[in-house]
Amino acid sequence: MSNSQYIGRFAPSPSGPLHFGSLIAALGSYLRAHSQQGQWLVRIEDIDPPREVTGASDNILRTLDAYGLHWHGTVLYQHQRYDAYQEQIEQLIHHDQAYFCQCTRKIIQAMGGVYDGRCGQCYPRLTQGAIRIRNQAKVESFTDLLQGNVTVDSHFATEDFIIKRSDNLYAYQLAVVLDDAFQGITEVVRGCDLLEASCRQISLFKQLGFNTPAWLHLPLACAEIGFKLSKQNHAPAIDTKQPQTSINAALSFLGQPTVDLDSVDIMLQQAVAQFSLPGIPKQKEIVLKRSNVAT
């Protein structure tokens, strides 16, 4: 595989069925990858069992298939990668680039809401609790291909953040970086709810010595301002029996021309052929009409 080959991905969590907001991220990343003659991978981010819904992973894959969003290669499940996450954490601790922390949320609130790194200064080192990266890169800004220059609060950027939780679950920030590096992802296309978190992920890419992908954050589909469609707020599942209408609604949301109603494969071929990155609205969120919320 050439280093210049485009590799994108769609990485849902199995906390419920795909809704219209999920479709935006899936379709947007699919169109971008195929318009670049690249690969489009699917990864199931199942590292938080308490939030997962039984059968959701299979349901997500069936829905993608019903929409003609066929992925390259095999699906990667994050639960298959626990050994890799743990190995990386042990290396970081061994080189004093990570440490245990026993500060509670209440303690951090007393610090002003930003963790001050105190547990990293303890001698002897703590041996229990959450594990934090000793944040060395401290990335405060990056350029997004759609949203432009993105700058985060300096306290957020410099904080030593958690890479393994006190309940022994691996943190998203670590898992997503290791998996993107493992899969050779060259560009991350996803929703703006993860826009600021990208700075922490870029910090990890740099600190771990990985190539950093490009970033493209799509507008969020919202029921009202500040209220994105999500599985947590029970956004309705998209229709798998007649997906053509939802595909055109998603294309319209992304500022793309709608396509002729046909088989999903033919519709997607047409959508890829006329895909235009400049056509996507440069907004962080778009409030939907009620008819689209229920699509």
- Residue positions in the annotated binding site for Zn(2+)? 101, 103, 115, 119
Show the tokens assigned to 203: 């910090």
CA distances from 273 to 32, 114, 146, 261, 277 (A): 11, 47, 20, 16, 12
Selection from 116, 123, 119, 117 nearest residue 100 by Cα = 119
Binding-site residues for L-glutamate, in ranges, read 9-13, 45, 172, 190
Q: What is the CA radius of gyration of the chain?
A: 20
Selection from 159, 158, 164, 157 nearest residue 92 by Cα = 164
Residues whose CB falls within 8 Å of the CB of residue 273, separated by 6 or more in sequence, listed in order: none
Cα 74 to chain center, whole Å? Answer: 19
Show the tokens assigned to 250: 């998603």
Strands 162-164 and 220-224: unpaired
Binding-site residues, in ranges, read 9-13, 45, 101, 103, 115, 119, 172, 190, 231
Selection from 162, 135, 161, 174 nearest residue 47 by Cα = 174
Binding-site residues for ATP, in ranges, read 231
Strand, helix or coil for residue 226:
coil
Selection from 68, 26, 43 nearest residue 253 by Cα = 26
